[in-house]
Structure 1
Amino acid sequence: MVTTDRLPSSDLEKHLTPSTASSPKSETGIHGHQNGDTNEEVFSIHSAETLAQESGVNPIFVAKCRVLNEAIMELGMGRYQWQLFFSAGFGWFADNIWLQGIAIIMPAVANETGWRPYPHVRMATFALYCGLIVGSTFWGVSADLIGRRPAWNATLVLGAIFGIAAGAAPNFIVFCTMIALCGFGVGGNMPVDGALFLEFLPGSHQYILTLLSVWWAIGQVVASLISWVFLAKYSCDANLVGTVGYICDKSNNSGWRYSYYTLGALMLFLSAVRFFILPMDESPKFLCSIGRDADAVAVVHHIAKINGKTSALSVADLHNAAVPYFRTETDGAQMTTKFSTWELVKLSFKDVSGEHVRGLFKTPRLAWSTSLIIFIYGALGLAYPLFNGFLGGFLTAKNASFGDTSIDATYSAYTYQAACGVVGSILAAGLVQWGRGGRKFAMAFFTIGAGAFLFGLTAARSSRQINALTSLASLFENAFYGVLYAYAPEVFPTPHRGTGDAFASTASRITGLFAPIIAVYSAAANTPDGPVYASAAIFVGTGLVMLLLPVETRGRTAL
């Protein structure tokens, strides 16, 4: 680790005089550069102290973060960021592969003799969400305590190992246990990967975080195609299930198991690519937030090298930017102290008392914003699996009502709607930069639109109508999730970003627990349209709530 000398006490005393302790009259704002093509708000008039107060963080960190943002902006959107786009995308890809993996194979699992039949087999989704809750909380909070890299390197491997184990399960209880453990690993992908990617993006290209959701949609397509291939060839005859003497087991119903083996092997491959071929550095903003300025500078220089550029950033630049906001000698000491790994762990867990939680509610504006984001995540976390989590069963039941019981009819429809999700992610990346609407309008538009198409789906009377409406709903769902998962990390300040993302993701997972309960035990379970209607109503209501968010992040570089 590169270290610097402690600021001499005489120099520190000079910088702590009233005249120098006040905010500078002129400085470039943390929210960075103005985009000449749009009429964006200019933040240069704000001091670091004002921005720190608005965001609930230390002004010393804000001052250093401003310098880091400028250095990353100068390096531009280069090879390093595009490599990270793919590597971070693996996590979003994995998240949806396992979420869709449950929905797709559920009819085949329900057919296994001695296992849970429909609708009780849906409790496997409950098990998955139990794991996701623990995983999203654990990995998200740990990202603020010990850094982004541990979660980054562990989540894909854990999900892959337990996903493969689920495919080998001898009974329903073991299957649910393995699915829950798979969820623990997978749960860390969404709150960590997006936050990390954001912290390496230049402010002019933050909209690309929205495009990261295209990997989520691709994951759905891949899961659909892989499962379709195996289920079509290695599934027992659904028309004979339940008849006297007919046994449905591994010997004639291994398609869903082969699907899980393949998905798990794919995740292991991607984790190896992430670790050995596209390794990541720790976030320079996170390093600055714990006083490791020299390491943060080293990371910026490494980015410059990968991008084929050079950076003039030095530890002195960070130091000089922060000096006007020193209030005590400790402020100067924290900028240059070198900590051992064990000391960093102890310092990190000292903050578990609630500093990162309080930081998300430090000002009324930030508290309102955080509360609304958590509510929105929770509402969508219930609405999405009410439809998508049981889409395989919904399509099977609806197609059967039209006289078509073939597996191809179900999974071709599944694949069509999954492919449309890719288009939705691309549209979202464009709309968030369009006009004055920005992130909030894009989220609300796509969320309300998804609800409208699902309302239409409940009235569908042919396979063709079902395919069209599920495809359009998928397009809009992937679009609003893309915007939301970009917006939330932009609002949460860096020192508390992992915790904020963890809280939001956990809220989504907790409410998702109720989806299988509603789908199994409520009156909505009496018809395949019941859960879809409930999902549509929640989407429309949540879209309206999005318009109440107090912060528009378009054109602003995240702290």
Structure 2
Amino acid sequence: MSAIDHEKVLDDAGVETEKIADDRSDQMLLEKAELEGIKPIFLAKVKVLNEAIAECGLGRYQWELFFSAGFGWFADNIWLQAIAIVMPAIANQHNFPDYTSNIRMATFGLYCGLIAGATFWGMTCDVIGRRLAWNATLFLSGIFGIATGAAPNFVTLCALLACIGFGVGGNLPVDGALFLEFLPGKHQYLLTLLSLWWAIGQVVGSLIAWVFLAKYSCDTTLVGKLVLQDGSLYQCDNSNNNGWRYTYYTLGSMMVFLGILRIFIFPMDESPKFLLSIGRDQEAVDVIHRIAKKNGANCTLTIQTLRDAAAPYADPNANPEQDITQTKFSTWGLIRNSLDEVSGENIKGLFATPRLAYSSGLIIFIYGALGLAYPLFNAFLGSYLSSREADTGNTGIDATYSAYTYQAVCGVGGSLLAAVMVQWSRTGRKFSMALFTIMSGVFLFALTQAKTSIQVNALVSIASFWENAFYGVLYGYAPEIFPTPRRGTGDAFCAAANRITGLFAPIIAVYSNAGKTPNGPVLASAAIFVFTGLTMLGLPIETVGVTAL
């Protein structure tokens, strides 16, 4: 009798049909657990939890989380852009390095902090939960941002920028992972839309810096030439060059304010999937019911539902006095266990199967490549625009910062396009991301041939559009391919690779001969974008239409 005939006979039997279907479902779950390198019990529970989140629907809870998670993405880009925008003004400060020497190493200090922050917050959020990082990162960046405005010398400035980086470095890996874990599967495209906040951060940073630098910057044409009333020569100091300081004061205060909003206006629950991963099932159920209540939905999830789903995969040799579908740790046990995971288990889990190893390795490489390409151009965009605007005869601070603002605004459109295309099955995540990245490189190549101010502004703006589009997809794609127990660790590896390679951008800008010309870093950035876009097509996982574990 063929397999088809056997299925037909069983269909007529009714009860046996259900048993065969259950057996197949169990086998599929076991195969998927093996493929993903995670425990079947956890996968069975997550399947039930995903169904419960879908039952709660997309409502007020997720939209509030969209705003509060957006604060972190907003903060990440606003600090990256702040150093790029105000660096020329900082270089004018008396006794600070000038722009042709080591002032760009301030970016190096920021990236050192970003590496430490991305690694620390990304890994520990798989250990102690998402909430601590969620509540701490904005406050840390805000407090040290305010302190940066008062930096008395260049060494202190670099140290404080590193502290900002440590705080803000956790925003992208933690906030994206947490937001994803509250989303119904069919609405995961909102994680890509979250990059809209990243683009808005660039716009706001540009406008704030423009206001203060235009009004409170020194006149560099008078330095060393104008004799003041006390007989000293005119120089850029705290009496006439505080625009960059006021910018940092303002941005730091803004981060503290957003941190307060997170805690008191948009308080969040711990991720229910994280709670499942450490055996706190009842708390996960309670969170789901709070989501349902805020969304005005009905939810049928109970602790027994989770136990029933996990029971077929439990260890029959477990202590009968314990719940064999659940594992609980003491506080010290969690810490000790998590340290073991950080050192080996979670990391090995990212490479547990050939498919996972290839997928994890390639996405980490992509993050690293883009981590170098993006700051090679964008971290020094203020100075690049100043140089190119001067070459085209359009001088003055307003010309530079208006161009900067134009390209920042265009980035918002890129984020919107990304959110639309990732849901279109004909393009999906991989193709959209590859297309956007390649187009970024193409328009940067074209930028090196621009002859007029209009051409420069137009090409910079179009390149910014595509850059924000590919970053929107990338930062949504990576959390989707990592399952919950290793999502923070996987995101941490990606973010750390992104920041580590970003360290080389200021080194290249300072010590490379190509970095001494405006177009040198742009050409290098463009080439990396095109190459990386092509490698994205080799990613083995397409996540469109698939609910994240």
Q: What's the TM-score bracket when you normalise by the shorter of the two chains?
A: over 0.9
Q: Give the deviation of 1:238 after TM superposition.
A: 2.7
Q: Which runs of 5+ in 2 are unaligned?
A: 1-17, 227-232
Alignment of 1:38-437 (within 5 A): 47-119=28-100, 120-241=102-223, 243=225, 245-330=233-318, 333=323, 335-336=325-326, 339-437=329-427
1:286-337 per-position Cα deviation (integer Å, ceiling 9, x unaligned): 1111111111101101111111122110111111111111134439636445
Distance 1:242 1:62, change over 3 A: farther
CA distance in 1 between partners of 2:206 and 2:23 (Å):
48
1:438-470 per-position Cα deviation (integer Å, ceiling 9, x unaligned): 100000000000000100111111110111011
Q: Which amino acid aligns with 2:237?
A: D
Q: Which amino acid aligns with 1:55?
A: E
Distance 1:247 1:277, change over 3 A: same
Alignment check: 8 A CA contact 1:163 1:264 kept: yes
Distance 1:396 1:265, change over 3 A: same
Alignment check: 8 A CA contact 2:220 2:236 kept: no
Q: Give the deviation of 1:426 after TM superposition.
A: 0.4
Q: Tell me the secondary structure at the aligned position of residue 498 of structure 1.
A: helix
Q: Which amino acid aligns with 2:21?
A: S
Alignment check: 8 A CA contact 2:41 2:325 kept: no
Alignment check: 8 A CA contact 1:454 1:532 kept: yes
Q: Tell me the secondary structure at the aligned position of residue 196 of structure 1.
A: helix
CA distance in 2 between partners of 1:242 and 1:68 (Å):
68
CA distance in 2 between partners of 1:241 and 1:387 (Å):
29
CA distance in 2 between partners of 1:281 and 1:369 (Å):
31
Q: Tell me the secondary structure at the aligned position of residue 33 of structure 2.
A: helix
CA distance in 1 between partners of 2:422 and 2:470 (Å):
10
1:50-76 per-position Cα deviation (integer Å, ceiling 9, x unaligned): 111111100110000000000001111
Q: Give the deviation of 1:113 after TM superposition.
A: 1.4
Q: Tell me the secondary structure at the aligned position of residue 201 of structure 1.
A: coil
CA distance in 2 between partners of 1:218 and 1:293 (Å):
38
Query: Is 2:21 the counterpart of 1:26?
Result: yes
Q: Which amino acid aligns with 1:218?
A: I
Alignment check: 8 A CA contact 1:103 1:392 kept: yes
1:319-369 per-position Cα deviation (integer Å, ceiling 9, x unaligned): 111111113443963644554444433333342331110110001001100
Query: Is 2:490 the counterpart of 1:480?
Result: no
CA distance in 1 between partners of 2:94 and 2:359 (Å):
50
1:19-59 per-position Cα deviation (integer Å, ceiling 9, x unaligned): xxxx9743699xxxxxxxxxxxxxx7972111111111001
Alignment check: 8 A CA contact 1:376 1:542 kept: yes
1:187-211 per-position Cα deviation (integer Å, ceiling 9, x unaligned): 0001100011000000010011000
Q: Which amino acid aligns with 1:380?
A: L
Aligned-CA RMSD value: 1.7
CA distance in 1 between partners of 2:316 and 2:531 (Å):
49
- The alignment covers a number of residue pairs equal to 523
Q: Which amino acid aligns with 1:94?
A: A
Distance 1:67 1:27, change over 3 A: farther
Of stretches 111-120 and 199-208 in structure 1, the one that deviates more from structure 2 is: 111-120
1:13 is matched with which residue?
Answer: none
Of stretches 520-529 and 155-164 in structure 1, the one that deviates more from structure 2 is: 520-529
Q: Give the deviation of 1:405 after TM superposition.
A: 2.2
Distance 1:46 1:307, change over 3 A: farther
Q: Which runs of 5+ in 1 are unaligned?
A: 1-22, 30-43
Q: Which amino acid aligns with 2:485?
A: P
Distance 1:397 1:140, change over 3 A: same
1:466 is matched with which residue?
Answer: 456
Q: Tell me the secondary structure at the aligned position of residue 486 of structure 1.
A: helix
Of stretches 170-179 and 395-404 in structure 1, the one that deviates more from structure 2 is: 395-404
Q: Which amino acid aligns with 1:485?
A: Y
